[in-house]
Structure 1
Amino acid sequence: MNRVAIGDLEPKPYDDELHGDRRPLTEPLGTDHVAITRYVLEPGERFSGSVHAHFDQEEVFVVLEGEATFEVIPNTGDRGIEPTDITVAENEVIRFAPGEFQSGRNDGEDRVVALALGAPRDTEDIRIARIPVLEDRDVSCPDCEADHMRISSDEDADFECPDCEATLSLEEA
């Protein structure tokens, strides 16, 4: 058994101030099969910096306080499908299957407190479709025009195409 006081953990924000108070619980709890993160988002803050999908992980968001808005792009194979906004209220839960593109934010006037759960714990295949914090720019392949790119493990590129393996840097996106 492991017990953790969330308030004792240091926040681990993403790379800018738009991502609120993010406290990963996975390592302190020593979980083997599920990733757990607690978020507190003030108005205008986001869970992540991009519309993304984990192709090998399902994600569940439990909204404990406030109201979160998720931009969702179903993984239908239709490259022209438009995103949909789904509002998840306090004490509601939303699940994203592997391959479903999403990004959540606080569009309200009150803070959002939520838990994000991902299983299996470690995800290797994360794909990006849109980067809202960069003026809602889409991320598509420069060679084959695939509508999303995988986060690259190559230190010289930020993204790689899952279809043709072309690479793309964030500056080009």
Structure 2
Amino acid sequence: MERVAVDAVDAAPEGDLTVARHPLGEVLGTSDVAVNHYRVAPGEALVGGLHAHLDQEEVFYVLDGVVTFATMQDPSEPPESVRVTAGEAIRFGRGEYQHGRNESDEPAEVLALGAPPDSTSGREPRTCDACGESEYLDTAMVDGELKARCPTCGTVHDSGLH
């Protein structure tokens, strides 16, 4: 058994965002699920942009405040907006695009669960600048940096995620 208080866990950097992400799963030693606690200021996002995990499902439980999620199944369609309030949860299956953001005037707190814990296969709904053929780019870590690769022509781009 492991136990930890959220405030006892140092906030981990989330790219260039100022959101406070507390990696509880790392401290608790979870091996089959990622557990993260977020404190999201008004106007901030959970991550840097609309994305999908091809190898991970995620559940977000809003502890306090309101988080608005952009979500879509098909990158050729516009995203749908879903408001999730305190006491509500939302699930995204593998391959579902999502992006959570605090669009309210009050702070929000969110508990995020992801299984399996380490996603290594993702997508951004973005057209390739080089060939213009693909409606999405595959994301992967390249030399310690998140990159986006066109599945049609193979061009590697900087990721739009932070």
Both structures adopt the same fold (TM-score exceeding 0.5): yes
Give the deviation of 1:153 after TM superposition: 3.2
**For the structure 1 residues 48 and 157, does the alpha-carbon distance in structure 2 shift closer, same or farther, using more than 3 Å as the test?**
closer
Contact persistence 1:68–1:112 (CA under 8 A): yes
Classify the secondary structure of the residue corresponding to 1:116. strand
Aligned-partner Cα distance in 1 for 2:71–2:146: 26
Classify the secondary structure of the residue corresponding to 1:94. strand
The structure in which a higher percent of residues are strand is 2
Number of matched pairs:
158
Classify the secondary structure of the residue corresponding to 1:152. strand
**For the structure 1 residues 12 and 57, does the alpha-carbon distance in structure 2 shift closer, same or farther, using more than 3 Å as the test?**
same
Aligned-partner Cα distance in 1 for 2:64–2:10: 21
Classify the secondary structure of the residue corresponding to 2:110. strand
Give the deviation of 1:123 after TM superposition: 1.1
- Counterpart in the other structure of 1:135: none
Q: Which amino acid aligns with 1:4?
A: V
Q: Which amino acid aligns with 1:29?
A: L
- Counterpart in the other structure of 1:71: 70
| Structure 2: gaps (5+ residues) | none
Cα displacement string for residues 68-115 of structure 1 (whole angstroms, at most 9, x for unaligned residues): 0001111x4xx4211111100110000001000010000011111011
Aligned-partner Cα distance in 1 for 2:146–2:28: 33
Aligned match of 1:94 in 90, 95, 101?
A: 90
- Counterpart in the other structure of 1:58: 57
Give the deviation of 1:121 after TM superposition: 1.2
What is the percentage of aligned positions where both structures have the same residue?
Answer: 38
Cα displacement string for residues 35-92 of structure 1 (whole angstroms, at most 9, x for unaligned residues): 0100011110100001011001000000010010001111x4xx42111111001100
| Structure 1: gaps (5+ residues) | 130-138
Contact persistence 2:68–2:83 (CA under 8 A): yes
Contact persistence 1:53–1:98 (CA under 8 A): yes
Aligned-partner Cα distance in 1 for 2:58–2:146: 26
TM-score, L = length of structure 2: 0.89
How big is the alpha-carbon RMSD for the aligned residues of Structure 1 and Structure 2?
1.9
Aligned counterparts, 1:138-157, within 5 A: 139-141=126-128, 142-143=130-131, 145-155=133-143
**For the structure 1 residues 121 and 73, does the alpha-carbon distance in structure 2 shift closer, same or farther, using more than 3 Å as the test?**
same
- Counterpart in the other structure of 1:116: 112
Q: Does 1:106 align with 2:94?
A: no
Q: Which amino acid aligns with 1:30?
A: G
- Counterpart in the other structure of 1:2: 2
Classify the secondary structure of the residue corresponding to 1:114. strand
Aligned-partner Cα distance in 2 for 1:29–1:12: 15
Aligned-partner Cα distance in 1 for 2:154–2:13: 30
